[in-house]
Amino acid sequence: MSARPDEAAGAVPDPSSPTDIEAIERRKADHLRLAASDRHQSPGAGWEDIHLVHDALPVTDAEDIDLGAELLGHRLRLPLVIAGMTGGHPMARDLNADLARAAERHAIAMGLGSQRAALRDPSVANTYSVARDVAPDAVLLANVGVSQLIDQRGERALGASELRDAVAMIRANALVIHLNYLEESVQPEGQRRARGALEAIAAAVRTVDVPVVLKETGGGISREVAIRARDEGVAALDVGGYGGTSFASIEAERAAAAGDMERARLGETFAHWGIPTPASVAACADVLPVIATGGLRSGLDAARAIALGATAVGIGRPMLQAAMVGDGALDRWIGAFEHELRTAVFLTGGRQARDLRSARRVVMGPTAVWLQHMTD
Ligand SMILES: Cc1cc2nc3c(=O)[nH]c(=O)nc-3n(C[C@H](O)[C@H](O)[C@H](O)COP(=O)(O)O)c2cc1C
């Protein structure tokens, strides 16, 4: 993979054309470029507040530990999902191909970025479908945004056939509906109509013939929202909590570049908004199967998330960075993740990854307070 973050540099946002296809494609390229910079990383989700208690007498050999997970009816070799990130512009095709090959090699899952661009402009569908071409057996997750399920000013809602097209485009194993009202609030061209969102999600559940996953993108999901989603037939959550890549911060920079200083300020003011990922995992894990995404940076963070009840974890920016480096960086990152997770299970006396759920743990600092309030 030879693409570099600076290849997307120079893309100019066009807030006056919210439905313009080229504007969507430019925005996707902006997101790749800005996510690659350190400026838009939150200070952390608080994973380091969670201490798994050491077991000095493990009961099994480290190499015999089973790290597999069952997600949405599929067996993964590791409880790992490459978080949905991209598609819809030329650079995305190579990135998605590299990420999908890694998903296939390691028998893990992969999300695609929002398919809105391809549903509006079929000529870019191959930037998504390439993932299935190179990963015939991987668990692949289609992706649309909740705001596209509702009529917005200047853009009609996606219809039932378009939702089915998104799934068919990559022969997806599940459809992810992402929730990003924090980002839409800051984005100059953001879509902020939300009335009827839950009903639209329920309709999507009835429309597609694969499970539907509800996914936040930095704000986290509370227990109350998890219950409403479950009651409408949603199969799993990707809690997408605060602590990792910040789209409020990314959109603040895009707003400033577009001269919209009011939204730039809004994004900076809300840069630390959201339920931290650990608290969101703990709040939702007994409601629906949970993918923990948002600021996880190692296999030890994954072990902490599984201890709080997660079924699997989603990794965004580190995967993006590794794909951009190329030369085996994705395999090295996934290999290190596996080694770290295996070590955490071994040193807590487990035989398999899900034994972490009953591992003794000590939670300190602000994370302890969040957990207490979010799981009451
Ligand atoms: C460049 C980029 C683009 C993204 N685009 C999408 C998207 O289209 N749909 C979506 O559900 N999430 C999207 N995300 C959010 C990620 O799936 C993930 O939730 C987020 O990056 C937090 O994980 P991290 O802290 O490991 O990066 C995107 C993330 C990045 C970095």
Tens-place pLDDT, residues 345-358: 999 999 999 999 99
Among the atoms of ligand 1, which is closest to the Cα of residue 320?
31
Residue 110 lies in a domain: yes
- Structurally, the chain folds into a number of domains equal to 1
Residue 3 lies in a domain: no
Residue 353 lies in a domain: yes
- Helix or strand (DSSP H, E) at 368: helix 365-374
**Top mutation candidate among 24, 245, 277, 290 for ligand 1, by most atoms within 8 Å of CB:** 245
Q: What is the pLDDT of residues 20-73, one digit of tens each?
A: 778 888 888 899 999 988 999 999 999 999 999 999 999 999 999 999 999 999
Range of the domain at 86: 28-374
Among the atoms of ligand 1, which is closest to the Cα of residue 32?
1
Q: Whose CA is nearest to atom 28 of ligand 1?
A: 85
Q: Tell me, in angstroms, the distance from the centre of ligand 1 to residue 99's CA.
A: 14
Q: Whose CA is nearest to atom 6 of ligand 1?
A: 85
Residue 15 lies in a domain: no
Residue 43 lies in a domain: yes
Strands (E) in the chain, as ranges, are 50-52, 69-71, 74-76, 80-82, 109-111, 139-145, 174-179, 212-216, 236-238, 290-293, 312-315, 361-363
**Top mutation candidate among 32, 85, 86, 181 for ligand 1, by most atoms within 8 Å of CB:** 85
pTM beyond 0.85:
yes
Residue 21 lies in a domain: no
What's the mean per-residue pLDDT of the chain?
93
Among the atoms of ligand 1, which is closest to the Cα of residue 84?
17
Q: What is the pLDDT of residues 285-332, one digit of tens each?
A: 999 999 999 999 999 999 999 999 999 999 999 999 999 998 899 999
Residue 332 lies in a domain: yes
Q: At what angle do helices 21-35 and 317-325 cross, to 10 degrees?
A: 90
CB 231 within 8 A of CB 67: no
Residues with CB under 6 Å of ligand 1 are 31-32, 35, 83-86, 113-114, 143, 176, 178, 215, 217, 240, 244-245, 293-296, 315-317, 320
The band of 19, judged by pLDDT with boundaries at 50, 70 and 90, is low
Q: Per-residue pLDDT averaged across 268-293, rounded?
A: 98
- Residue 13 main-chain phi, psi, to 5 deg: -65, 150
Among the atoms of ligand 1, which is closest to the Cα of residue 244?
25
The DSSP line for 191-206 is: ----TTHHHHHHHHHH
| CATH assignment of the domain containing 317 | 3.20.20.70
Residue 153 lies in a domain: yes
Q: Tell me, in angstroms, the distance from the centre of ligand 1 to residue 156's CA.
A: 24
